[in-house]
């Protein structure tokens, strides 16, 4: 059986939703293990033995570990195409991967600069500057996702739930933690509220024990 190591509310939510969608479409069940990132469990010797990068998500398949969201998700889609998590048509698939890659290699690291600015500079003033700049970038990126969300019906790729929907939900939650009020992104918020009611998304939210609304005024 496949086993997902995830951090509640972290980017591992993306393959988590994928696994729930696969379970709904095929009956294939999976195991999960929560990794408490705020307690540093991702740096325990046991976890580092599985994933030397010390990051979630990690998917263990037949005892073999696979890291990186894009790799895990393309594996899941390749093994369970019935779940329809990525389009089959080569052009549409490439377009979906283009958005997925942008989310993973641009939006996600931008947030890392806000949330873990200590990774990028030593002094407090430099960290505050990094945070401030990254917050402005992140806001712009959420606005770009909002433009896509305005056309979603009900999902970004149309009827079918995809990994990029799960990522979009994660980013709006993270924005709330960084002081971005979701009420200022109404089309994005309405889309995420719709997503949260879809059974695979609702199941992953329930297992992770997370709230959709994370907004903290800064
Ligand atoms: N590029 C990686 C990013 C993974 C990542 O940044 N994971 C974060 C959670 S969202 C993490 O595990 N952080 C723990 C840490 O930095 O110690 C992927 O696609 O899987």
Same domain, 95 and 193: yes
Same domain, 71 and 94: no
Q: What is the CA radius of gyration of the chain?
A: 17
Is the separation of the CB atoms in 148 and 156 below 8 Å?
Answer: yes
* Digit-coded pLDDT (tens) for 78-99: 999 999 999 999 999 999 999 9
Determine the structural domain holding residue 51 and report its residue range.
2-83
Same domain, 94 and 194: yes
Alpha carbon nearest to ligand 1 atom 14, residue = 55
4 Cβ inside 6 Å of ligand 1: no
* Digit-coded pLDDT (tens) for 180-203: 999 999 999 999 999 999 999 999
Is the separation of the CB atoms in 175 and 141 below 8 Å?
Answer: no
Same domain, 9 and 47: yes
The pLDDT of residue 218 is: 85
Kindly report the CATH number assigned to the domain that includes residue 59: 3.40.30.10
Last residue of a domain, one of 59, 83, 107: 83
Instruction: Kindly give the distance from the C-alpha atom of residue 68 to the centroid of ligand 1, in angstroms, as a whole number.
Output: 8
Domain total in the chain: 2
18 Cβ inside 6 Å of ligand 1: no
The pLDDT of residue 35 is: 98
């Amino acid at each position: 059986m496949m086993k997902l190591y995830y951090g509640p509310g972290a980017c591992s939510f993306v393959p988590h939703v994928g696994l729930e969608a696969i379970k709904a479409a095929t009956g294939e069940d999976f195991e999960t293990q929560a990794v408490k990132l705020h307690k540093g469990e991702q740096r325990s010797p046991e976890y580092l033995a599985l994933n030397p990068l010390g990051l979630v998500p990690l998917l263990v398949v037949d005892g073999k570990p696979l890291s990186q969201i894009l790799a895990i998700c393309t594996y899941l889609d390749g093994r369970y195409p019935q779940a329809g998590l990525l389009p089959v048509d080569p052009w549409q698939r490439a377009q979906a991967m283009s958005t997925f890659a942008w989310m993973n290699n641009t939006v996600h690291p931008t947030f890392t600069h806000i949330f873990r600015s200590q990774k990028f500079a030593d002094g407090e003033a430099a960290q505050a500057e990094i945070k401030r700049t990254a917050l402005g970038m992140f806001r712009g990126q959420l606005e770009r996702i909002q433009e896509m969300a305005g056309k979603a019906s009900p999902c970004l790729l149309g009827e079918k739930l995809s990994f990029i929907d799960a990522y979009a939900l994660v980013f709006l939650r993270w924005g709330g933690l960084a002081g971005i009020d979701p009420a200022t992104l109404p089309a994005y918020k309405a889309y995420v509220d719709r997503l949260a009611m879809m059974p695979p998304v609702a199941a992953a939210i329930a297992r992770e024990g997370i709230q959709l609304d994370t907004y903290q005024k800064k």
